[in-house]
Structure 1
């Protein structure tokens, strides 16, 4: 990737002209290609540019320009109150008109970790957040808000399954290429529609589980690896309250237990110690399969997120991310398939691995990041609200702001 000093003249010229296109109407047909204007007519473009000025003030200057090729890259424009990122693509032939332009994110001017953490703390419900520098010793917390509080984290638990595959592969108990049959299926995800018992490698299941959060992949892996071994990985990575978190549930079990029709099972599960919970899952297995789940009964409002969930604190998740950094091996490229944030923001990092989780009332994001200078960091945040759905876009924006500040 190149910075503005090394970009090709036509691309740099169009990047500089973008500032003027955003500042005032006029000249669109000399800047955009016919292809672009067929998709985004001039009036629509002017409305978008005006909306950006309303949100962020006047555009003031051209910021960083990063290119992936002579004709494509990312451009930053500094406004009065924010820096806005765009992907910009120009035609390779003269006069190199713009054929693609998309907004990929905005960073608030004069932003700070204190501001981000204050906004996270002010969200309705409960929140937790932490950033740690990773090195040879224990993670060193740099910024923290209720970092030791156990939170519902949704599909973040799938990182424990990924870690167990990595451990087993390193111990030569498993290979990433080992083939297992797909199943049991769970609702949501691409693999739900695949043939029953389709042969899948551990690597392909892990990639679907992490990059797409495929529930059939995670439930297949939990049984293939063995729940006891995945539970042990939670303790091995330093989880501070395994009695609250164990056993790790399949996605089908979790949502079956949340259903009103299974209120009796849920009460017994909530009151039981981990050993008795495991027994309940075995004896009631026929009631806890995906085909028994009425998704509509648990898909709209938060349900039992304080008791039937996958629990971890921000510090627990940072410990898990650090374990993966040290021992993950082939797990690290899998975590980087979906960086969780806009591509232009992700490109600030040499490496960015991600896994989050969400359901009604729950949002969690966990990142393992290596800076351009080689330094490693872990970032983890969770937002729970048992009374209402959370605004996932708002939380994504806050976490992206934190990562961008860290990258600087």
Structure 2
């Protein structure tokens, strides 16, 4: 088949997969004709329809076909064997339909709890709601740590090849370096890449110790004492849970005494359950995070992954923050000469749904760019 005929055939096959309730076995190559594969294809199809509404049309694309749903467009990569049967099928990241400002705010405000969003297009405000209200942002605070590292590398006081070591005081929970041996040495570049691209917590705490807690407190006075991630885990999930209320109610000196007492406590010994303790967090406004991502977006750590925005724009610098009851997305995206920066935060003690949140933020960013992606 010619390239045009192949594209038309891909459209016909994908359309049939969505039109027919039961997927015909002979649609797929013999190696894929097993019940589990067919079930998974049907499940993926049904989940896409549930999330994005009815399929409206299918059009050719360079890699196979573009599925146009009511709320998103989704590229599908498809390959065929010599007999024209499906040999491979992959649905790529959804590209959301643009939301105008009123629709974005309406959807955002439909969520329970406390919310904030700030969006700029080419440096000018495009959308704002509670943009100067400090909210819990989880790991998005790591942008501040990264900015200070970048500043010191640029002034020559640190170098990307410098080595810092994991210590008992910086070993934290979760991430790439979880449970790595104490005294393991890592370059500054590796630590920053892990902190930003994988939100690694041990690398973050090594960097906080390297930079100094007092330095970060000067940069963000609201967050005093400036917590390491291991300290948050100890107070909310671990051996320090019985100290959480005293920490929240205490003055700054009392809080610092509690942190000193927990300096070398093992972070992986966790009682069952956790104390939500919403006050034990890092607090930033949406405007502050937009300003931060604008200052640090050229850093090499953002080249690793664009998170849920991967592949949607020409360049993406992205950082998320996630905890029970907390979600934040902060990003800077550039496409066709337009720059959009956005920070959105949702706090709710009853829990947050990241899938819903992601769809609203993606639609808002697409709306700020002002055109439908992927066509």
What's the TM-score bracket when you normalise by the shorter of the two chains? Answer: 0.7 to 0.9
Per-residue CA deviation, residues 264-320 of structure 1 (Å, 9 max, x unaligned), is 640454x33xxx47xx43674132545167644664x622x2x32111010000010
Deviation at 1:104, TM superposition (A): 3.6
Deviation at 1:215, TM superposition (A): 0.9
Check 1:58–1:180 CA distance in 2 against 1; reply closer, same or farther (3 A cut): closer
- 1:173 counterpart SS class: coil
**Aligned equivalents of 1:7 and 1:402: distance in 2?**
35
Whether 1:85 and 2:67 are equivalent positions in the alignment is no
Whether 1:395 and 2:373 are equivalent positions in the alignment is no
Per-residue CA deviation, residues 308-365 of structure 1 (Å, 9 max, x unaligned), is 211101000001011114xx4xx2x312423221xxx532211111111111111111
Per-residue CA deviation, residues 73-94 of structure 1 (Å, 9 max, x unaligned), is 7x43124x33341442314756
**Aligned equivalents of 2:269 and 2:231: distance in 1?**
12
> Residues 148-297 of structure 1 correspond to what in structure 2 (within 5 A)?
148-183=132-167, 184-232=170-218, 234=219, 242-258=220-236, 259-263=240-244, 265-267=246-248, 269=250, 271-272=251-252, 276=253, 280-281=255-256, 284-289=259-264, 291=266, 295-296=270-271
Give the corresponding residue for 1:323. Answer: 295
**Aligned equivalents of 1:21 and 1:229: distance in 2?**
57
> Residues 2-401 of structure 1 correspond to what in structure 2 (within 5 A)?
10-11=6-7, 13-25=9-21, 28-38=24-34, 40-42=36-38, 45-46=41-42, 49=45, 52=48, 58-63=54-59, 65-67=61-63, 75-79=65-69, 81-91=70-80, 95=84, 97-102=86-91, 104-105=93-94, 107=96, 111-134=99-122, 139-183=123-167, 184-232=170-218, 234=219, 242-258=220-236, 259-263=240-244, 265-267=246-248, 269=250, 271-272=251-252, 276=253, 280-281=255-256, 284-289=259-264, 291=266, 295-296=270-271, 299=274, 302-303=276-277, 305=278, 307-325=279-297, 328=298, 331=299, 333-341=300-308, 346-371=310-335, 373-386=336-349, 388-401=350-363
- TM norm structure 1: 0.78
Deviation at 1:47, TM superposition (A): 5.8
Deviation at 1:25, TM superposition (A): 4.5
Does the 8 A contact of 1:130 with 1:379 survive in 2?
A: yes
**Aligned equivalents of 2:351 and 2:77: distance in 1?**
35
Check 1:52–1:174 CA distance in 2 against 1; reply closer, same or farther (3 A cut): closer
How many matched pairs? 364
- 2:345 counterpart SS class: strand
**Aligned equivalents of 1:298 and 1:288: distance in 2?**
22
Structure 1 residues 93-102 or 184-193, which shifts more?
Answer: 93-102
- 1:291 counterpart SS class: coil
**Aligned equivalents of 1:227 and 1:170: distance in 2?**
20
- TM norm structure 2: 0.85
Check 1:118–1:321 CA distance in 2 against 1; reply closer, same or farther (3 A cut): same
Which has the bigger relative contact order, CA under 8 A and spacing at least 6?
2
Check 1:375–1:295 CA distance in 2 against 1; reply closer, same or farther (3 A cut): farther
- Any unmatched runs of 5+ in structure 2? none
Check 1:92–1:130 CA distance in 2 against 1; reply closer, same or farther (3 A cut): farther
Give the corresponding residue for 1:70. Answer: none
Does the 8 A contact of 2:116 with 2:344 survive in 1?
A: yes
